[in-house]
Structure 1
Amino acid sequence: MVKAIVNGFGCTGHLVTRVAFNYGKVSITIDDCFTDYNYKVYTFWCDSTHGKFNGTVQSEKGKLVISGKPTSIFQEQYPANIKWGAAGAEYVLESTGVLTTLEKTGPHMKCRAKRLIISVPSADSPMFVMGMNHKKYNSLKMVSNASCTTTCLAPLANVTVDRLMTTVHTVTDIQKTIDGLTGKLYSDG
Protein backbone atom coordinates (compact mmCIF):
# COMPACT_ATOMS: atom_id res chain seq x y z
CA MET A 1 0.00 0.00 0.00
CA VAL A 2 1.44 3.36 -1.07
CA LYS A 3 1.11 6.13 1.52
CA ALA A 4 0.64 9.68 0.29
CA ILE A 5 -0.26 13.04 1.73
CA VAL A 6 -2.31 15.57 -0.19
CA ASN A 7 -1.29 19.03 0.98
CA GLY A 8 -4.18 21.27 -0.04
CA PHE A 9 -7.70 19.92 -0.43
CA GLY A 10 -9.11 22.02 -3.26
CA CYS A 11 -9.99 20.83 -6.76
CA THR A 12 -6.72 18.98 -7.37
CA GLY A 13 -6.62 17.49 -3.87
CA HIS A 14 -10.20 16.26 -4.22
CA LEU A 15 -9.54 14.66 -7.59
CA VAL A 16 -6.34 12.91 -6.49
CA THR A 17 -8.09 11.61 -3.38
CA ARG A 18 -11.01 10.31 -5.46
CA VAL A 19 -8.65 8.53 -7.84
CA ALA A 20 -6.70 7.05 -4.91
CA PHE A 21 -9.88 5.66 -3.37
CA ASN A 22 -11.08 4.27 -6.69
CA TYR A 23 -7.67 2.69 -7.31
CA GLY A 24 -7.61 1.17 -3.85
CA LYS A 25 -3.85 0.78 -3.43
CA VAL A 26 -3.09 4.23 -2.07
CA SER A 27 -3.59 5.39 1.50
CA ILE A 28 -4.21 9.15 1.65
CA THR A 29 -3.66 11.62 4.47
CA ILE A 30 -4.99 15.13 3.91
CA ASP A 31 -3.49 18.41 5.09
CA ASP A 32 -5.78 21.41 4.71
CA CYS A 33 -6.04 24.27 7.17
CA PHE A 34 -8.37 26.48 5.17
CA THR A 35 -11.77 24.78 5.53
CA ASP A 36 -13.75 23.10 8.30
CA TYR A 37 -14.65 19.42 8.26
CA ASN A 38 -18.24 19.87 7.06
CA TYR A 39 -17.08 21.94 4.11
CA LYS A 40 -14.43 19.33 3.27
CA VAL A 41 -17.11 16.62 3.33
CA TYR A 42 -19.48 18.56 1.11
CA THR A 43 -16.96 19.76 -1.47
CA PHE A 44 -15.38 16.31 -1.75
CA TRP A 45 -18.73 14.56 -2.11
CA CYS A 46 -20.29 17.05 -4.53
CA ASP A 47 -17.74 18.38 -7.02
CA SER A 48 -19.13 20.89 -9.53
CA THR A 49 -16.84 19.58 -12.29
CA HIS A 50 -16.62 15.85 -11.64
CA GLY A 51 -20.02 15.27 -10.06
CA LYS A 52 -20.90 13.39 -6.93
CA PHE A 53 -18.44 10.99 -5.37
CA ASN A 54 -19.48 7.38 -5.89
CA GLY A 55 -19.31 6.48 -2.22
CA THR A 56 -19.98 7.90 1.21
CA VAL A 57 -18.19 10.76 2.92
CA GLN A 58 -18.63 11.98 6.48
CA SER A 59 -16.71 13.70 9.23
CA GLU A 60 -16.06 11.66 12.35
CA LYS A 61 -13.72 12.38 15.27
CA GLY A 62 -11.38 14.67 13.35
CA LYS A 63 -11.18 12.41 10.30
CA LEU A 64 -12.91 12.14 6.98
CA VAL A 65 -14.51 8.74 6.61
CA ILE A 66 -14.51 8.02 2.89
CA SER A 67 -16.43 4.92 1.84
CA GLY A 68 -16.05 3.54 5.36
CA LYS A 69 -12.30 4.17 5.55
CA PRO A 70 -11.07 6.73 8.11
CA THR A 71 -8.74 9.27 6.52
CA SER A 72 -6.51 11.39 8.74
CA ILE A 73 -6.60 15.14 8.36
CA PHE A 74 -3.99 17.62 9.49
CA GLN A 75 -4.76 21.31 9.58
CA GLU A 76 -1.27 22.77 9.30
CA GLN A 77 -0.54 25.85 7.24
CA TYR A 78 3.22 25.25 7.14
CA PRO A 79 4.72 21.97 5.87
CA ALA A 80 7.31 21.97 8.66
CA ASN A 81 4.48 21.55 11.19
CA ILE A 82 2.90 18.48 9.59
CA LYS A 83 3.13 15.42 11.83
CA TRP A 84 5.03 13.34 9.32
CA GLY A 85 5.59 10.44 11.67
CA ALA A 86 1.83 9.97 12.05
CA ALA A 87 1.27 10.30 8.32
CA GLY A 88 4.03 7.94 7.24
CA ALA A 89 3.75 9.47 3.78
CA GLU A 90 6.14 8.29 1.10
CA TYR A 91 4.73 10.64 -1.52
CA VAL A 92 3.48 14.21 -1.25
CA LEU A 93 1.19 15.99 -3.64
CA GLU A 94 1.63 19.72 -3.04
CA SER A 95 -1.68 21.11 -4.27
CA THR A 96 -2.14 24.30 -2.27
CA GLY A 97 -1.06 26.40 -5.25
CA VAL A 98 1.08 28.44 -2.86
CA LEU A 99 4.19 26.33 -2.27
CA THR A 100 5.65 26.40 -5.77
CA THR A 101 9.43 26.46 -5.31
CA LEU A 102 11.92 23.91 -4.03
CA GLU A 103 12.71 26.16 -1.09
CA LYS A 104 9.08 26.46 -0.01
CA THR A 105 8.42 22.75 -0.43
CA GLY A 106 11.70 21.73 1.21
CA PRO A 107 10.12 20.75 4.55
CA HIS A 108 8.16 18.03 2.76
CA MET A 109 11.41 16.41 1.68
CA LYS A 110 13.26 16.88 4.98
CA CYS A 111 10.94 14.27 6.41
CA ARG A 112 10.41 10.77 5.08
CA ALA A 113 8.77 11.65 1.77
CA LYS A 114 10.47 9.90 -1.15
CA ARG A 115 8.89 12.02 -3.85
CA LEU A 116 7.14 15.37 -4.16
CA ILE A 117 4.82 16.42 -6.98
CA ILE A 118 3.96 20.10 -7.21
CA SER A 119 0.60 20.33 -8.97
CA VAL A 120 1.22 23.76 -10.49
CA PRO A 121 4.09 25.32 -12.47
CA SER A 122 7.27 25.79 -10.47
CA ALA A 123 10.00 28.33 -11.04
CA ASP A 124 12.79 25.90 -10.18
CA SER A 125 11.53 22.33 -10.32
CA PRO A 126 11.56 20.23 -13.51
CA MET A 127 8.14 20.27 -15.20
CA PHE A 128 6.56 17.35 -17.01
CA VAL A 129 3.60 17.23 -19.37
CA MET A 130 2.04 13.84 -20.13
CA GLY A 131 2.31 13.13 -23.83
CA MET A 132 5.15 15.62 -24.29
CA ASN A 133 8.20 15.10 -22.12
CA HIS A 134 7.04 12.60 -19.49
CA LYS A 135 9.48 9.99 -20.83
CA LYS A 136 12.37 12.21 -19.71
CA TYR A 137 11.41 11.67 -16.06
CA ASN A 138 14.27 9.81 -14.41
CA SER A 139 13.42 9.26 -10.76
CA LEU A 140 13.75 12.90 -9.73
CA LYS A 141 12.69 13.51 -6.14
CA MET A 142 10.76 16.72 -6.88
CA VAL A 143 8.82 17.47 -10.03
CA SER A 144 6.18 19.91 -11.13
CA ASN A 145 3.19 19.65 -13.35
CA ALA A 146 2.99 22.35 -15.97
CA SER A 147 0.10 24.79 -16.05
CA CYS A 148 -3.35 23.62 -17.10
CA THR A 149 -2.99 25.74 -20.24
CA THR A 150 0.30 24.06 -21.13
CA THR A 151 -1.10 20.62 -20.40
CA CYS A 152 -4.03 21.39 -22.70
CA LEU A 153 -2.19 23.05 -25.58
CA ALA A 154 1.20 21.31 -25.63
CA PRO A 155 -0.02 18.08 -27.28
CA LEU A 156 -1.72 20.11 -30.02
CA ALA A 157 1.41 22.19 -30.56
CA ASN A 158 3.46 19.00 -30.63
CA VAL A 159 1.40 17.66 -33.53
CA THR A 160 2.04 20.86 -35.44
CA VAL A 161 5.77 20.85 -34.72
CA ASP A 162 6.55 17.16 -35.10
CA ARG A 163 3.93 15.71 -37.33
CA LEU A 164 2.73 18.41 -39.71
CA MET A 165 2.63 16.74 -43.06
CA THR A 166 2.95 17.88 -46.63
CA THR A 167 1.70 15.77 -49.48
CA VAL A 168 3.35 15.92 -52.89
CA HIS A 169 1.62 14.15 -55.72
CA THR A 170 1.67 14.17 -59.50
CA VAL A 171 -0.20 16.71 -61.56
CA THR A 172 -3.65 15.60 -62.67
CA ASP A 173 -4.84 15.98 -66.24
CA ILE A 174 -6.85 19.11 -65.39
CA GLN A 175 -3.98 20.92 -63.66
CA LYS A 176 -1.24 22.89 -65.40
CA THR A 177 2.36 22.55 -64.25
CA ILE A 178 3.10 26.21 -64.98
CA ASP A 179 1.00 29.31 -65.46
CA GLY A 180 -0.68 29.31 -68.83
CA LEU A 181 -3.93 29.78 -70.62
CA THR A 182 -6.82 27.77 -69.34
CA GLY A 183 -10.51 27.68 -70.00
CA LYS A 184 -11.42 28.82 -66.47
CA LEU A 185 -10.54 31.64 -64.14
CA TYR A 186 -7.98 30.86 -61.46
CA SER A 187 -10.28 32.28 -58.83
CA ASP A 188 -12.93 29.69 -59.75
CA GLY A 189 -10.65 26.93 -58.55
Structure 2
Amino acid sequence: MRIAINGFGRIGRTILRQVLTDPHADDITITRINDIAPPETCAYLLNYDSVYGPLPQRAEARDGALHVSGRVIPLTQIADPGALNLGATDLLMECTGKVKTRDDALRTLDAGATRVLVSRPCEGADVTCVMGANEDQMGAARIVSNASCTTNALAPLLRELESRFGILTGHMTTIHCYTGSQPMVDAPRGDTLVRSRAGAVSMVPTTTSAMKLIDRVLPDLAGRVTGAAVRVPTISVSAVDLTVRLKAPPADMAQALREMANDSAVIGLTEDPTVSTDLRGRPESLVLAPHETRVTGDQARIFGWYDNEWGFSARMRDMARRMTS
Protein backbone atom coordinates (compact mmCIF):
# COMPACT_ATOMS: atom_id res chain seq x y z
CA MET A 1 0.00 0.00 0.00
CA ARG A 2 1.61 3.22 -1.21
CA ILE A 3 0.62 6.25 0.84
CA ALA A 4 1.53 9.92 0.60
CA ILE A 5 1.09 12.24 3.57
CA ASN A 6 0.16 15.87 2.97
CA GLY A 7 0.62 17.81 6.20
CA PHE A 8 3.25 16.74 8.72
CA GLY A 9 1.64 18.09 11.88
CA ARG A 10 0.38 16.15 14.88
CA ILE A 11 -1.55 13.51 12.90
CA GLY A 12 0.87 13.24 9.98
CA ARG A 13 3.84 12.69 12.29
CA THR A 14 1.93 10.28 14.51
CA ILE A 15 0.95 8.18 11.49
CA LEU A 16 4.59 7.97 10.41
CA ARG A 17 5.66 7.09 13.97
CA GLN A 18 3.20 4.22 13.93
CA VAL A 19 4.42 3.00 10.55
CA LEU A 20 8.02 3.10 11.79
CA THR A 21 7.42 1.39 15.15
CA ASP A 22 4.58 -1.07 14.49
CA PRO A 23 5.77 -4.46 13.15
CA HIS A 24 2.30 -4.96 11.65
CA ALA A 25 2.69 -1.88 9.43
CA ASP A 26 5.16 -3.45 7.00
CA ASP A 27 2.48 -3.39 4.29
CA ILE A 28 2.65 0.42 4.19
CA THR A 29 5.12 2.34 2.05
CA ILE A 30 5.23 6.10 2.53
CA THR A 31 5.91 7.47 -0.94
CA ARG A 32 6.07 11.16 -0.04
CA ILE A 33 5.64 13.66 2.77
CA ASN A 34 4.64 17.21 1.93
CA ASP A 35 4.66 20.08 4.41
CA ILE A 36 5.44 23.77 4.11
CA ALA A 37 7.77 23.65 7.14
CA PRO A 38 11.54 23.45 6.50
CA PRO A 39 12.80 19.85 6.15
CA GLU A 40 15.09 20.18 9.17
CA THR A 41 12.11 21.25 11.29
CA CYS A 42 10.08 18.25 10.10
CA ALA A 43 12.91 15.88 11.06
CA TYR A 44 13.43 17.57 14.43
CA LEU A 45 9.73 17.38 15.38
CA LEU A 46 9.66 13.71 14.39
CA ASN A 47 12.73 12.95 16.50
CA TYR A 48 11.53 14.80 19.59
CA ASP A 49 7.86 14.77 20.60
CA SER A 50 6.48 16.39 23.76
CA VAL A 51 3.72 13.77 24.02
CA TYR A 52 5.29 10.49 22.87
CA GLY A 53 8.95 11.14 23.61
CA PRO A 54 11.99 10.63 21.38
CA LEU A 55 11.66 8.55 18.23
CA PRO A 56 13.50 5.21 18.71
CA GLN A 57 15.17 5.71 15.33
CA ARG A 58 17.03 8.79 14.15
CA ALA A 59 15.44 10.86 11.39
CA GLU A 60 17.50 13.19 9.21
CA ALA A 61 16.53 15.57 6.42
CA ARG A 62 18.97 15.69 3.55
CA ASP A 63 18.96 15.77 -0.25
CA GLY A 64 15.23 16.52 -0.41
CA ALA A 65 14.22 13.48 1.61
CA LEU A 66 13.59 12.23 5.12
CA HIS A 67 16.01 9.43 6.02
CA VAL A 68 14.81 7.23 8.86
CA SER A 69 15.11 3.56 9.74
CA GLY A 70 16.57 2.65 6.36
CA ARG A 71 13.79 4.44 4.49
CA VAL A 72 14.25 7.36 2.15
CA ILE A 73 11.01 9.33 1.93
CA PRO A 74 10.83 12.28 -0.50
CA LEU A 75 10.05 15.45 1.44
CA THR A 76 8.58 18.44 -0.39
CA GLN A 77 7.33 21.91 0.58
CA ILE A 78 4.44 22.58 -1.84
CA ALA A 79 1.67 24.84 -0.56
CA ASP A 80 -0.84 24.07 -3.34
CA PRO A 81 -2.06 20.46 -3.05
CA GLY A 82 -3.04 20.54 -6.71
CA ALA A 83 0.64 20.85 -7.62
CA LEU A 84 1.88 17.79 -5.72
CA ASN A 85 2.33 15.43 -8.72
CA LEU A 86 1.73 12.33 -6.60
CA GLY A 87 2.59 9.76 -9.24
CA ALA A 88 2.45 6.10 -8.14
CA THR A 89 0.40 6.57 -4.97
CA ASP A 90 -2.57 4.46 -3.92
CA LEU A 91 -3.91 6.95 -1.41
CA LEU A 92 -3.22 10.41 -0.08
CA MET A 93 -3.62 11.00 3.63
CA GLU A 94 -4.69 14.64 3.78
CA CYS A 95 -3.50 15.79 7.22
CA THR A 96 -3.04 19.54 6.86
CA GLY A 97 -6.36 20.31 8.54
CA LYS A 98 -7.03 22.81 5.74
CA VAL A 99 -9.04 20.57 3.40
CA LYS A 100 -12.57 21.24 4.62
CA THR A 101 -14.70 20.86 1.49
CA ARG A 102 -15.11 18.57 -1.50
CA ASP A 103 -13.59 21.21 -3.79
CA ASP A 104 -10.49 21.28 -1.58
CA ALA A 105 -10.20 17.50 -1.74
CA LEU A 106 -10.67 17.44 -5.50
CA ARG A 107 -7.46 19.45 -5.80
CA THR A 108 -5.55 16.49 -4.37
CA LEU A 109 -7.21 14.11 -6.84
CA ASP A 110 -6.17 16.47 -9.64
CA ALA A 111 -2.59 16.04 -8.38
CA GLY A 112 -2.72 12.32 -9.12
CA ALA A 113 -4.09 10.74 -5.95
CA THR A 114 -6.26 7.70 -6.64
CA ARG A 115 -8.13 8.26 -3.39
CA VAL A 116 -7.91 10.76 -0.56
CA LEU A 117 -8.53 10.20 3.14
CA VAL A 118 -9.14 13.46 5.01
CA SER A 119 -8.15 13.59 8.68
CA ARG A 120 -10.99 15.91 9.66
CA PRO A 121 -14.65 16.64 8.83
CA CYS A 122 -15.01 17.42 5.12
CA GLU A 123 -18.19 18.89 3.67
CA GLY A 124 -19.18 17.13 0.47
CA ALA A 125 -16.93 14.09 0.96
CA ASP A 126 -18.25 10.97 -0.73
CA VAL A 127 -18.74 9.52 2.73
CA THR A 128 -17.79 10.18 6.36
CA CYS A 129 -16.62 6.87 7.80
CA VAL A 130 -15.82 5.66 11.30
CA MET A 131 -14.34 2.23 11.88
CA GLY A 132 -16.61 0.18 14.09
CA ALA A 133 -19.64 2.29 13.18
CA ASN A 134 -20.32 2.61 9.45
CA GLU A 135 -17.26 1.52 7.48
CA ASP A 136 -19.50 -0.78 5.46
CA GLN A 137 -20.95 2.36 3.82
CA MET A 138 -17.66 3.22 2.09
CA GLY A 139 -18.18 1.38 -1.17
CA ALA A 140 -15.93 2.74 -3.91
CA ALA A 141 -15.71 6.26 -2.45
CA ARG A 142 -12.68 8.26 -3.57
CA ILE A 143 -13.00 11.11 -1.06
CA VAL A 144 -13.44 9.85 2.49
CA SER A 145 -13.53 11.85 5.71
CA ASN A 146 -12.24 10.05 8.79
CA ALA A 147 -14.50 12.33 10.87
CA SER A 148 -12.91 13.52 14.13
CA CYS A 149 -11.16 11.90 17.08
CA THR A 150 -14.21 12.30 19.31
CA THR A 151 -16.54 10.90 16.64
CA ASN A 152 -14.24 7.88 16.34
CA ALA A 153 -14.47 7.40 20.10
CA LEU A 154 -18.22 7.88 20.42
CA ALA A 155 -19.76 6.39 17.27
CA PRO A 156 -18.69 2.73 17.84
CA LEU A 157 -19.99 2.91 21.41
CA LEU A 158 -23.33 4.35 20.32
CA ARG A 159 -23.71 1.76 17.59
CA GLU A 160 -23.11 -1.07 20.07
CA LEU A 161 -25.52 0.39 22.63
CA GLU A 162 -28.22 0.93 20.01
CA SER A 163 -27.91 -2.56 18.53
CA ARG A 164 -27.78 -4.34 21.90
CA PHE A 165 -30.15 -2.33 24.11
CA GLY A 166 -31.73 0.49 22.09
CA ILE A 167 -31.10 4.16 22.87
CA LEU A 168 -33.95 6.44 23.89
CA THR A 169 -31.92 9.60 24.49
CA GLY A 170 -28.40 10.50 25.47
CA HIS A 171 -25.94 13.27 26.18
CA MET A 172 -22.17 13.11 25.76
CA THR A 173 -19.54 15.40 27.22
CA THR A 174 -16.05 15.04 25.86
CA ILE A 175 -13.41 16.08 28.37
CA HIS A 176 -10.83 17.04 25.80
CA CYS A 177 -7.19 18.06 26.07
CA TYR A 178 -6.22 21.38 24.52
CA THR A 179 -5.21 21.42 20.85
CA GLY A 180 -3.48 23.68 18.36
CA SER A 181 -6.79 25.42 17.65
CA GLN A 182 -6.50 27.14 21.05
CA PRO A 183 -4.06 29.93 21.91
CA MET A 184 -1.48 29.54 24.67
CA VAL A 185 -2.24 33.09 25.85
CA ASP A 186 -5.52 34.99 25.53
CA ALA A 187 -5.95 35.96 21.87
CA PRO A 188 -8.80 36.19 19.36
CA ARG A 189 -9.42 32.65 18.12
CA GLY A 190 -12.28 30.52 16.89
CA ASP A 191 -15.99 31.15 16.57
CA THR A 192 -16.78 31.18 20.30
CA LEU A 193 -15.42 33.73 22.74
CA VAL A 194 -14.13 31.21 25.27
CA ARG A 195 -11.97 29.56 22.59
CA SER A 196 -9.96 32.80 22.70
CA ARG A 197 -8.75 32.07 26.23
CA ALA A 198 -5.41 30.48 27.12
CA GLY A 199 -5.84 26.75 26.57
CA ALA A 200 -3.29 25.54 29.13
CA VAL A 201 -4.69 27.59 32.02
CA SER A 202 -8.46 27.07 32.22
CA MET A 203 -11.16 24.50 31.62
CA VAL A 204 -13.02 25.81 28.57
CA PRO A 205 -16.66 24.79 27.96
CA THR A 206 -17.29 24.72 24.24
CA THR A 207 -18.88 22.82 21.37
CA THR A 208 -17.83 19.65 19.59
CA SER A 209 -18.17 18.80 15.90
CA ALA A 210 -18.77 15.18 16.89
CA MET A 211 -22.53 15.59 17.30
CA LYS A 212 -23.04 16.84 13.74
CA LEU A 213 -20.84 14.02 12.51
CA ILE A 214 -22.68 11.39 14.56
CA ASP A 215 -25.84 12.30 12.65
CA ARG A 216 -23.96 11.58 9.40
CA VAL A 217 -22.32 8.38 10.56
CA LEU A 218 -25.34 6.99 12.45
CA PRO A 219 -28.36 8.72 10.89
CA ASP A 220 -30.81 6.43 12.74
CA LEU A 221 -29.72 8.16 15.95
CA ALA A 222 -30.15 11.70 14.61
CA GLY A 223 -31.83 13.92 17.19
CA ARG A 224 -31.54 11.42 20.02
CA VAL A 225 -28.04 12.20 21.32
CA THR A 226 -26.67 15.66 22.16
CA GLY A 227 -23.17 16.65 23.13
CA ALA A 228 -20.75 19.28 24.37
CA ALA A 229 -17.07 19.62 25.17
CA VAL A 230 -14.89 20.89 27.96
CA ARG A 231 -11.31 21.59 26.92
CA VAL A 232 -8.94 20.96 29.83
CA PRO A 233 -5.28 21.91 30.49
CA THR A 234 -3.68 18.57 29.57
CA ILE A 235 -1.60 17.92 26.46
CA SER A 236 -2.96 14.53 25.40
CA VAL A 237 -5.67 11.90 25.99
CA SER A 238 -9.33 12.81 26.24
CA ALA A 239 -12.45 11.18 27.65
CA VAL A 240 -16.05 10.45 26.72
CA ASP A 241 -18.61 10.85 29.51
CA LEU A 242 -21.90 9.53 28.13
CA THR A 243 -25.27 9.40 29.85
CA VAL A 244 -27.93 7.39 28.01
CA ARG A 245 -31.44 6.16 28.61
CA LEU A 246 -31.83 2.66 27.20
CA LYS A 247 -34.92 0.87 25.95
CA ALA A 248 -33.84 -2.46 27.45
CA PRO A 249 -30.99 -1.85 29.92
CA PRO A 250 -28.91 -4.91 30.85
CA ALA A 251 -28.97 -6.33 34.37
CA ASP A 252 -25.22 -5.64 34.73
CA MET A 253 -24.10 -2.65 32.65
CA ALA A 254 -20.42 -2.95 33.60
CA GLN A 255 -20.33 -6.58 32.45
CA ALA A 256 -22.15 -5.62 29.26
CA LEU A 257 -19.38 -3.10 28.54
CA ARG A 258 -16.74 -5.79 29.06
CA GLU A 259 -18.50 -8.01 26.54
CA MET A 260 -18.82 -5.10 24.15
CA ALA A 261 -15.08 -4.42 24.28
CA ASN A 262 -14.31 -8.11 23.85
CA ASP A 263 -16.42 -8.23 20.67
CA SER A 264 -15.08 -5.00 19.13
CA ALA A 265 -11.96 -4.39 17.07
CA VAL A 266 -11.78 -0.70 18.05
CA ILE A 267 -13.12 -0.56 21.63
CA GLY A 268 -10.71 -1.41 24.44
CA LEU A 269 -10.99 -1.87 28.17
CA THR A 270 -9.21 -0.90 31.37
CA GLU A 271 -10.10 -2.48 34.70
CA ASP A 272 -7.48 -0.50 36.62
CA PRO A 273 -8.04 2.87 38.29
CA THR A 274 -6.39 5.11 35.70
CA VAL A 275 -5.76 8.76 34.91
CA SER A 276 -5.40 10.26 31.47
CA THR A 277 -1.62 9.90 31.11
CA ASP A 278 -1.94 6.15 31.67
CA LEU A 279 -3.82 5.86 28.37
CA ARG A 280 -1.22 7.63 26.27
CA GLY A 281 -0.36 5.61 23.19
CA ARG A 282 -3.39 3.29 23.39
CA PRO A 283 -4.41 2.47 19.77
CA GLU A 284 -8.12 1.84 20.39
CA SER A 285 -10.74 4.39 19.40
CA LEU A 286 -12.16 4.23 22.95
CA VAL A 287 -11.00 2.49 26.13
CA LEU A 288 -13.97 1.79 28.40
CA ALA A 289 -13.65 1.95 32.20
CA PRO A 290 -16.46 -0.33 33.50
CA HIS A 291 -15.73 0.56 37.14
CA GLU A 292 -16.83 4.14 36.37
CA THR A 293 -20.30 2.95 35.28
CA ARG A 294 -23.31 4.23 37.19
CA VAL A 295 -26.90 3.06 36.59
CA THR A 296 -30.20 4.55 37.77
CA GLY A 297 -33.29 2.87 36.35
CA ASP A 298 -33.04 3.00 32.57
CA GLN A 299 -30.28 5.63 32.71
CA ALA A 300 -26.60 4.67 32.51
CA ARG A 301 -23.44 6.72 32.83
CA ILE A 302 -20.61 5.28 30.71
CA PHE A 303 -17.04 6.56 30.79
CA GLY A 304 -14.13 5.87 28.44
CA TRP A 305 -10.71 7.25 27.54
CA TYR A 306 -9.27 7.91 24.10
CA ASP A 307 -5.86 9.05 22.94
CA ASN A 308 -7.16 11.64 20.52
CA GLU A 309 -3.96 11.58 18.44
CA TRP A 310 -2.65 8.01 18.62
CA GLY A 311 -6.03 6.27 18.39
CA PHE A 312 -7.25 8.52 15.59
CA SER A 313 -4.02 7.96 13.63
CA ALA A 314 -4.42 4.20 14.06
CA ARG A 315 -7.90 4.47 12.54
CA MET A 316 -6.46 6.48 9.63
CA ARG A 317 -4.23 3.49 8.92
CA ASP A 318 -7.15 1.06 9.22
CA MET A 319 -9.29 3.18 6.93
CA ALA A 320 -6.47 3.46 4.39
CA ARG A 321 -6.19 -0.31 4.27
CA ARG A 322 -9.91 -0.62 3.72
CA MET A 323 -9.90 2.03 0.97
CA THR A 324 -7.06 0.36 -0.94
CA SER A 325 -8.02 -3.29 -0.47
Give the TM interval when normalised to the shorter protein. Answer: 0.7 to 0.9
8 Å contact kept, 2:84–2:111? no
How far off its partner does 1:103 sit? 0.6
8 Å contact kept, 1:90–1:112? no
The correspondence for 1:83, drawn from 85, 103, 109, is 85
CA distance in 2, matches of 1:53, 1:139: 36
Answering whether residue 54 of structure 2 is matched by residue 55 of structure 1, we say no
What is the TM-score of this pair, normalised by structure 2?
0.47
CA distance in 2, matches of 1:25, 1:166: 42
Q: What amino acid does structure 2 have at the position aligned with 1:113?
A: A
SS of aligned partner of 2:120: coil
Q: What amino acid does structure 2 have at the position aligned with 1:136?
A: Q
Q: Deviations over 1:117-163 (max 9, x none)?
A: 01101111111111111122212111001111211222232333222
Query: 2:153 — aligned with what?
Result: 152
Query: 1:6 — aligned with what?
Result: 5
SS of aligned partner of 2:133: coil
1:107-122 aligned at under 5 Å gives the runs 107-122=107-122
Answering whether residue 43 of structure 2 is matched by residue 41 of structure 1, we say yes
CA distance in 1, matches of 2:68, 2:80: 25
Question: Which segment drifts farther, 49-58 or 96-105?
Answer: 49-58
Counterparts in 2 of 1:41 and 1:161: CA distance versus 1, 3 Å: same
How far off its partner does 1:80 sit? 1.6
Query: 2:105 — aligned with what?
Result: 105
Answering whether residue 134 of structure 2 is matched by residue 133 of structure 1, we say yes
SS of aligned partner of 1:123: coil
Counterparts in 2 of 1:107 and 1:51: CA distance versus 1, 3 Å: same
How far off its partner does 1:167 sit? 5.7
Counterparts in 2 of 1:167 and 1:147: CA distance versus 1, 3 Å: closer
Whichever of the two has the greater Rg, that structure is 1
Report percent identity of matched pairs.
Answer: 27
Query: 2:19 — aligned with what?
Result: 20
CA distance in 2, matches of 1:30, 1:167: 48
Q: What amino acid does structure 1 have at the position aligned with 2:63?
A: K
How far off its partner does 1:25 sit? 2.8
Query: 1:92 — aligned with what?
Result: 92
8 Å contact kept, 1:56–1:68? no
Supply the RMSD in Å over aligned alpha carbons: 1.9
1:162-173 aligned at under 5 Å gives the runs 162-164=163-165, 165-166=248-249
8 Å contact kept, 2:4–2:86? no
CA distance in 1, matches of 2:162, 2:98: 33
CA distance in 2, matches of 1:166, 1:68: 53
Question: Which segment drifts farther, 139-148 or 108-117?
Answer: 108-117
Query: 2:34 — aligned with what?
Result: 31
CA distance in 2, matches of 1:167, 1:83: 54
CA distance in 1, matches of 2:250, 2:38: 60
Q: Which runs of 5+ in 1 are unaligned?
A: 169-189
8 Å contact kept, 1:10–1:96? yes
CA distance in 2, matches of 1:6, 1:48: 21
Question: Which segment drifts farther, 159-168 or 74-83?
Answer: 159-168
What is the TM-score of this pair, normalised by structure 1?
0.78
